[in-house]
Amino acid sequence: MLAPAPVLPDPTASLLANLATSLSANLASNLASNLASNHSPTSAHLPASFPLELRERFLARGYLLADGAMGTRLMDAGLLEGALPERWNRDRAEAVIEIHRSYIDAGSDIILTNSFGGTAPRLAMHDGASELEELNRAAVSCALAAISASDREERVFVAGSMGPSGQLLAPLGELSNSEMEEIYYAQASALASGGADMLWIETQMDLGEMLMAMRAAARTGLPYCCTMSFDTAGKTMMGVSPEDLVSFYTSPAPTQPLPEQLPWGIGMNCGLAAGDTLLSLKRLTESLRSVEPQPLAEQPLAEQPLAAKHELPLVIVKGNCGVPQWRDGAFRYSGSEGSMGRYARMARALGAGVIGSCCGSGAGHVHRMGCELAEVDGVADGVATSSGRPLGRPSEDEIRAAFASEVADLKAGSAGEESPDATESRRARAAKRAAARAKKDAASTSATDDT
């Protein structure tokens, strides 16, 4: 895992002083406003790798709407526990297309393919490694078919979903960096050849693995983004914090350089409940606010891009729709359309530029989120929204208060009822996390002793 670099001090004053000699007063003013409010970036501050058409839409609105869950919607459609979701791209394509279509109709600007587990190690768990090319290309085909069947006038973009490999890098696991990169490249190239507009690396736990996925994505030439999954303690399963993610992007270790083509966005998805995700989002955006773009020493500032090699990315968030609870013989998520609308408003106020939802959500939740984000005078698209006024940057206490019911649901578990295998599964996951962290600590101690 890459060691996090220290967070730099607030750069606003010194940055604007430098900008004054090389940029127009209007641009400096816009940037000052952006840094002060931490709302979405100005046109000059958008990453160079960001797709042009999406750039124009983002500048017109100030946000982009992503889609919602795929896995839980497939289960609603009949996917059996333990079955391989990616095979539905081929065997039950009409169901996958309908899920995509529902998100397009709900207003999503970007839809993610049904390829979350499309790397060879994940497919091999279902004897499907030999189907990698076919299933990933079919995933893109399903998304494109849904777009073709839609009457949306705006272009909808297809993002090839790339979830975690399920493997660990050495010394915690068996894989070398190059082996991990090739695992991701096999999937990335299949999604690219299938016609994806971009690649979406998601639910990552380890910075080292994510870097290999980034390198693989960059090799395809497609725009790409990366998100990690933070839990209640504000860290991933491998101990990465939102601040670590920002340092990884802005101050990479010399021995582990980022690809020449940087991701256009970083952020978070999944985790626990939406309120917990917002708390992690607040930490990430506050850390980004303290980052000063690093100029290249050999060039005058006026001759460099605004952020040189460290242009700041858009922030992405896709939170869960409450928490899963075992009720009436099935898992159900505790969130509502109203709570996800509230989450979307707070996410935008915290500085997220691309907002979607994850586990437990559906088209109704995404539609409500879009209404909240686009609201005018408390009403959008015929739906009464929370407030007619822009939401100020919420505090931690305000976030906790807004999602207090989720915290209660999480503490209560499933109202005293648990699925037959839930306890065993929960204990197995906890044991796996403890073993991984112990191995990581041992490796870190050994490395320190060697020096």
Could you read off the pLDDT of 8-21 as tens digits, one per residue? 333 333 333 333 33
Q: What is the mean pLDDT of the chain?
A: 80
**Mean pLDDT of the 323-328 span:** 78
DSSP for 339-353, written as a single string: HHHHHHHHHHHTT-S
Query: What band does 85 get if pLDDT is binned at 50, 70 and 90?
Result: very high
The pLDDT score that the predictor gives to residue 334 is: 87
Q: How confident is the model at residue 445 (pLDDT cuts 50, 70, 90)?
A: low
Identify the bridge partners of residue 316 per DSSP, sorted by sequence position.
Answer: 267, 354
Higher pLDDT among residues 7 and 265, named by residue: 265
Burial of 406 (0-12, 13-18, 19+ CB in 10 A): buried
Q: For residues 281 and 275, what is the distance between their CA atoms, to the nearest angstrom?
A: 10
Instruction: Kindly state the tokens that stand for 153.
Output: 């006038």
Q: Where in the chain are the domains?
A: 29-294+301-419, 422-451
Higher pLDDT, 397 or 391: 397
The predicted structure's pLDDT at residue 47: 79
Angle subtended at Cα 294 by Cα 288 and Cα 295, rounded to the nearest 5 degrees: 150
C-alpha dist (Å) from residue 278 to 316, 317, 399: 11, 8, 7
Cα 275–chain centre separation: 16
CATH-assigned architecture of domain 29-294+301-419: Alpha-Beta Barrel (3.20)
Which pLDDT value is given to residue 44?
43
**Cα–Cα dist 408/321, whole Å:** 14
pLDDT, tens only, 122-168: 999 999 999 999 999 999 999 999 999 999 999 999 999 999 999 99
- For 174, counting Cβ atoms within 10 Å of its Cβ (0-12 exposed, 13-18 middle, 19+ buried), the class is exposed
- Answer yes or no: are the C-beta atoms of 370 and 335 closer than 8 Å: no
The residue behind tokens 């891009």 is 305
CA distance 226 to 268: 8
Instruction: Say whether 34 sits in a helix, a strand or coil.
Output: helix
d(CA 168, CA 170): 7
pLDDT at 326 over 70: yes
Q: Cα angle vertex 380, ends 374, 382, to 5°?
A: 160
- CB count in 10 Å sphere of residue 53: 13
Residue 311 DSSP SS3: coil
Tokens of 310: 């460290």
Write out the H or E segment, with its range, that includes residue 111.
Answer: strand 110-112
When pLDDT is cut at 50, 70 and 90, the band that residue 178 belongs to is very high
Residue of higher predicted confidence among 370 and 20: 370
pLDDT for the residue numbered 271: 92
Mean pLDDT of all residues in 202-210: 97
Q: What is the pLDDT of residue 19?
A: 30
pLDDT for the residue 221: 96
Q: pLDDT at position 101, please?
A: 98
The answer to whether 312 and 291 have CB atoms below 8 angstroms apart is: yes
SS3 for 391-449, per residue?
CCCCCHHHHHHHCHHHHHHHHHCCCCCCCCCHHHHHHHHHHHHHHHHHHHHHHHHHHHH
Q: What is the pLDDT of residue 24?
A: 31
pLDDT at res. 71:
95
Among 77-91, 129-143, 235-249, 279-293, the least confident range: 279-293
Specify the amino acid at residue 243.
E
Q: Residues 294-323, buried b or exposed e (16+ Cβ, 10 A)?
A: ebeeeeeeeebebbebbbbbbbbbbbbbbb
- What is the model's pLDDT at position 250? 86
Residues above pLDDT 90, as percent of the chain: 59
Q: Where are the alpha helices (DSSP H) in 300-357?
A: 337-349
pLDDT digit string (tens) for 245-261? 999 998 888 888 899 89
Q: Using an 8 Å Cβ cutoff, are 32 and 11 in contact?
A: no
Percent of the chain at pLDDT exceeding 70:
72
pLDDT given at position 293: 55
